[in-house]
Structure 1
Amino acid sequence: MNDNDHKKSDQEWRNILSEEAFRVCRQQGTEAPYSGTLLHNKDTGDYLCTCCQALLFKSENKYDSGCGWPSFDAPVSHDALRYLEDNSQGMQRVEIRCGFCDSHLGHVFPDGPKSTGVRYCVNSVSLIFNNSDLQKT
């Protein structure tokens, strides 16, 4: 990962990302619930930022929250994410972004499992799944 990965212009991001990934990651959009490719993924591996490939979440922290988006009870580290107040759409929420390139990931809520009490609700399109079994071959 290059330090300049987060310094791209909108046009550079448009050239790299799919239209949906650009809308979600760079324009703070949300993919439709139950539509993401990683929602039901149960494979062992790492979840990386779509934009800069920074490691954000691990499969052992993923769980089925029933909310329609991939959910995690913790990121790989506190520095992996940025937390921003989000008062859009008539709600008070905490937005989560990649701590390295500022890509919009989703939101964090205080209704997670007992292990942490926190649910990181993440758009599938903002993540790349890296299967650890493939890394070993």
Structure 2
Amino acid sequence: MLQQRMNLNEADPLAYKPMYAMEKYIHSAGLGEDLLALVKIRASQLNGCAYCLDMHGREARAAGVGNRRLDVLSGWQEAPGLYSERERAAIALTEEMTLIGEGGVSQETWLGVSAEFSDAETAALMMAICAINVWNRIAITTHQELPEIAEN
């Protein structure tokens, strides 16, 4: 079993301050908590971050995202009826930005995002994708432990 290596907040409480400011911006941008949850979960699936999958899965359910859509998210391309065009564009961008070293962001994906989001929304979406990738890297590097919660 992995043991938590450190608690970043205890080591340096100021380290999280810019991340919390970014989260405040992201959540105030009007993208919707359901869309943000899908983005956060998909990046966390790709990065293998159990801590973030647990947290954002609970957030997604609280935002009204159904279990079926969460269960199928890693196979979203095979389930076009479960996700809106806007969600599909955001998820595609999430995948390509998260795996940026594998070919960057394709023109097809960029055009899909441009068709569904304003420039300001695209900026917020990109920052949301960047933020979850930072959170994933912190949690994975430190072996952040899952919180104890009552099972449903």
Larger Rg: 2
Q: TM-score, normalised by structure 2?
A: 0.25
Q: TM-score, normalised by structure 1?
A: 0.26
Q: In proportion to residue count, which structure has more strand?
A: 1
User: Comparing both chains, which one has the higher relative contact order based on Cα–Cα distances under 8 Å and sequence gaps of 6 or more?
Assistant: 2
